[in-house]
Structure 1
């Protein structure tokens, strides 16, 4: 029978584990007409100095890449506290158009004032990030799941650890609504986190859609895999809570 501490360990080990392995990148004819490809991407590198002792950081940018979403996040966080409610409303209202990365910021902003909503935003962001990363040809892009989720902050994780019923409700809602797959933003923001996009940027290359995104006829199988992951995590949480209740 699981104690509260074992529940926390279960959650910290990875509710919504990133079981989304992607295939390797495929070669593409360099003479392909990228201009006719709506999924063609021409990434670039932005170098940000971190200080004398810390060196510098390199970010992939271009067409809402990973570095771009970080830049927008920085602008959001520079807004005054008086704008928090409006910012949260805007982020939620644009949740389907924006990359799911911004749902983690929404979770951070609302973790203290509305924990149930913050957990809902967190798991919607995480499930959509899983879906985006799973559609990347570059398997290294899957690391974006935990990297992006961390931007929600420790307060959200503390709520998740202490109130498992909120996690159960959030995952139930995602499964019932199918909202993990209703985002409209390109998965490029997640795929550009991978090494292939970085080296393309370093070498000044344009990636055709076929070089970074799996073909669309494979997307249903990705959705099935993530749906199973969601259901397995929901069952795991329900069983853990039931075992803890029985032990009290």
Structure 2
């Protein structure tokens, strides 16, 4: 029987690389899209997938989400947003958006999907960030959301082990994605994708987690680029 995966962030970056690999393997995808237009795009890109339109920036809308499968082999939290600013200048709307998309909606979605994952003794994968391990200047809102996401995963892992549910947090450092290009623009730095981790590399790491035999789990994995960061 084909495995069924629920995935956020399939439109670009790591999420797109992961969706492409899972779709190529013939596995069943349930994708979340932030709008009807993006949903139509994903349906065309991944034929046979189920696409549900919901904006992760609206946790109340996520709470009301319907159409989720009764059984899931994995839930893959990949979507995220970032806006850099010092604490003294961070607009409230940007702070809330990052916390809602990166933490609150994943928590709500996890709650909704937990019975389906339990039925398959499945896996939750939380794609975090190196900012979820150490917070730098101007990264307070994003890092706070990612620190919280790590705590959510840690608690879930401890709670669900008796149900056979595995929980993995992936901490990629800078990855060559549209989000990273935006970060470089906000930092006033020149973006060179060749310096950073390929989204496909992160996707392969996640596939390794999903493909583990039932006698093992990887609670956390950190991925860093080989090339040192330029000043």
TM-score by length of 2: 0.32
Specify which structure has the bigger relative contact order, considering alpha-carbon pairs within 8 angstroms and separated by 6 or more residues: 1
TM-score by length of 1: 0.31
Please identify the structure whose Cα radius of gyration is greater.
1
Higher strand content, 1 or 2: 2
